[in-house]
Structure 1
Amino acid sequence: MSQFSIPKFPQVGKSLHTDLKNRVQQYFDEKGIKSTGTSKLFTKAAILITLLVAVYIHLLVFTPVWYIALGECIVMGGLVAAIGFNVMHDGSHGSFSTKKGMNRVAASSISLLGANHFMWNMKHNMIHHSFTNVDGVDDDIEIGSLMRMAPTQKRHKLHKFQHIYFVAMYSLLYVFWIFYTDYKKYFSGKIGEIPLKKMAVKDHIEFWAVKIYHAAVFVVIPIIFLGFVNWLIGFSVMSIVAGFILSIVFQLAHVVGDTEFPVANIETNKLPDEFAAHQIKTTANFATRNKVISWLVGGLNFQIEHHLFPKISHVHYPAISEIVRNVCREYKLQYIEYPTMRQAVAEHVRFLRQMGRYD
């Protein structure tokens, strides 16, 4: 391995993170409620998974006319993303339920979508949530030479048009995730420059079991029932929809003009800010007053609250967001928020254009 070294956060006298945790905990104590999911979240999870299974069966068994089938494939792509946001995401952070078994089941819904939980846990929970927007560490902003997502990345001529072709790139996320990047991480033994944790025998078994299951359920069986061409069209539509939704929601939270892309000090290898301040400066919220969007994306439009409190279920983010806002005012930190999703998308496109044209 090269001389790569994971950066560290500086030690500070007055901890913003501690202050935030104390105030948020006080909120839960006063309300007398748990910080995990509620019955509404469990109901939503059941609805989303039931709908996915129902649409899948209807497509295979009843084989509707092509225009209805395409519509159902679009819906299926949205359901894949929604299950990832609402069920798998909270489960993988241990915030879905007070019961560990329920969290494991919710987290395992990623297997239903064909992805590997071991890889996701390290890529998302351990790396992205610790070193958000740190170039060379955060795998979420590493798309190789095809796109420039941070000011510290090298600019190529192709990037001049990335604010246009990003739609196609994002649409490929799901296919690449399932059929390429999981395998790349598995066989290379690392995510970017960071080595994977040692996989136990059960982790290896789970990896291959999930991949075989996904190939059987989403490739082989549909081809048998529908034929290769029909399967290819349907699977492509579903994957494009799922990929774009998954990509855009996460990118709107970090890759915009107001967020920072911190660089560690060369001599000390320490980042400029302590953990909580780092998360606030590298993260943005969007459309937080839109209840429909909040329901569909599993509260990930409250991304600041999620990065500060990943073990708190997203159903509580609207309430604790007021606490976070007040603390940001006291510490003179910008609470980055775009009122609507349209404004957030416009800012993301503007930032991509800027990254593609200027060093």
Structure 2
Amino acid sequence: MHAPKFAASRSFHQELKRRTNAYFQEAGKATTGDTSLFVKAIILTVAFVAVYVHLVFLTPPTWLALAECALLGFVGSAIGFNVMHDGAHGSFSKKRWVNQFASFTLNVLGGSSFMWNVKHNLIHHMYTNVDGIDDDLDAQPWLRLSSTQPRHRFHRFQHLYFWFFYALLFIAWVFFMDYQKYFKGKVGEMPIKKMTATDQGVFWGFKALHLFLFVGLPIYTTGFVAWLVGFMVFTTVVGLTMSIVFQLAHTVEHTAFPMPDEITNKLEDEWAIHQIKTTANFATDSKVISWLVGGLNFQVEHHLFPTISHVHYPALNKIIRQACQEFGVEYNEYPKMRYAVASHVAHLRELGRA
């Protein structure tokens, strides 16, 4: 599929940018992260290192080791949401090297910041929920996430078994998906730009570091069976946590899944309206959830202004909601996280039966 084009009108997006720029000018704030974000990054990083060291070198009893493996997965996910995500979008700090350093936390955990940039920043953020382009919708044949995808008989049970595949997401990402993209030179059907020698070195160097830190060294200090059980607990928690947070943002009952016109290859809406129609917020009143998921419960704000740090999303939320009301654009938001989870399950059930 060739990349589609959006509607020519950009009046809504221009108005959003005008109001947002006015807010930052009046408040005298930078669009990047603030002290609270830096403190959070330090807390999460220290916690992750401390738990890792205790697990690998101090050999806690089995019950505590399992609990710490789960905690390590949860803290690792929080680093991904809060540190890596902002860094990869260039919104963690005003300094480029700090953003790159923050984004490289993904590499240490086993992913690839290069592949993430192509898959997430360039494709997903541009063509959200467009089947055939947005790689986040591609869980075939196991899951049917859009009505434009083929349906198989076993999909009628997908609202029950999806947890299993979400649990496997991270381990599949680290050990299969990145390599698939690397050797195919594509994210889905979209080509990847040629990797420089530095890109190649970072990709393979950090993959080797991850194998040493999370496979080789733990096996050496704890034994193969203990490592395997702990590693599966760790990756399961990461997979479930990341899957749920990202899926609640786009694959729920009230989000749209637009497809371009077959003749003109154009989408119906301008880019900003497309982002709002294909995205949903959840639990924006919960400071605990907002802190843990790095503001990704303010997904509408993030998709409209991905280069603005998540610490500013509560303020942007009011500006965008007001603009949507004035322009007659429907704004998707679930007041509680459990409502969004229920909507995601209902979405899977409906697609499985249709």
TM bucket, shorter chain: over 0.9
Which of residues 43, 46, 63 in structure 2 aligns to 1:47?
A: 43
Partners of 2:247 and 2:153 lie apart in 1 by: 22
Number of positions where the alignment pairs a residue of Structure 1 with one of Structure 2 = 354
For residue 146 of structure 1, give the secondary structure of its aligned residue in structure 2: coil
2:157 aligns to what?
A: 161
Post-superposition shift, 1:267? 1.0
1:313 aligns to what?
A: 309
Which of residues 246, 261, 274 in structure 2 aligns to 1:278?
A: 274
For residue 145 of structure 1, give the secondary structure of its aligned residue in structure 2: coil
CA RMSD in angstroms comes to 0.6
Q: Read off the aligned partner of 1:100 and give its amino acid letter.
A: R
CA offsets per residue over residues 129-155 of structure 1, 9 Å max, x none? 000000000000101111000011111
Give me the TM-score of the superposition, normalised by structure 2.
Answer: 0.99
Partners of 2:206 and 2:153 lie apart in 1 by: 39
Which of residues 227, 234, 240 in structure 1 aligns to 2:236?
A: 240
* Structure 1 stretches lacking a partner, 5+ long: none
CA offsets per residue over residues 185-214 of structure 1, 9 Å max, x none? 000110100011111111111111011000
CA offsets per residue over residues 54-108 of structure 1, 9 Å max, x none? 0000011211110111000000000111010000000000000111111111111
Partners of 1:142 and 1:228 lie apart in 2 by: 33
Which of residues 186, 194, 198 in structure 2 aligns to 1:198?
A: 194
* Structure 2 stretches lacking a partner, 5+ long: none
Which of residues 182, 206, 211 in structure 2 aligns to 1:186?
A: 182
Partners of 2:222 and 2:216 lie apart in 1 by: 10
CA offsets per residue over residues 200-255 of structure 1, 9 Å max, x none? 11111111101100000000000000000000000000000000000110000000
2:2 aligns to what?
A: 5
Matches within 5 A, 1:244-283: 244-283=240-279
Question: How many percent of aligned residue pairs carry the same amino acid?
Answer: 55
Partners of 1:287 and 1:215 lie apart in 2 by: 36
Partners of 2:49 and 2:22 lie apart in 1 by: 41
Post-superposition shift, 1:171? 0.5
Post-superposition shift, 1:10? 1.6
For residue 215 of structure 1, give the secondary structure of its aligned residue in structure 2: helix
Give me the TM-score of the superposition, normalised by structure 1.
Answer: 0.98
2:103 aligns to what?
A: 107
Q: Read off the aligned partner of 2:58 and give its amino acid letter.
A: F
1:125 aligns to what?
A: 121
Partners of 1:312 and 1:5 lie apart in 2 by: 29
Consecutive aligned runs of 4 or more in structure 1 exceeding 2 Å deviation: none
Partners of 1:159 and 1:290 lie apart in 2 by: 33
Q: Read off the aligned partner of 1:8 and give its amino acid letter.
A: K
For residue 182 of structure 2, give the secondary structure of its aligned residue in structure 1: helix
Q: Read off the aligned partner of 1:139 and give its amino acid letter.
A: D
Partners of 1:214 and 1:140 lie apart in 2 by: 24
Partners of 2:187 and 2:107 lie apart in 1 by: 19
Partners of 2:63 and 2:351 lie apart in 1 by: 39
Post-superposition shift, 1:174? 0.4
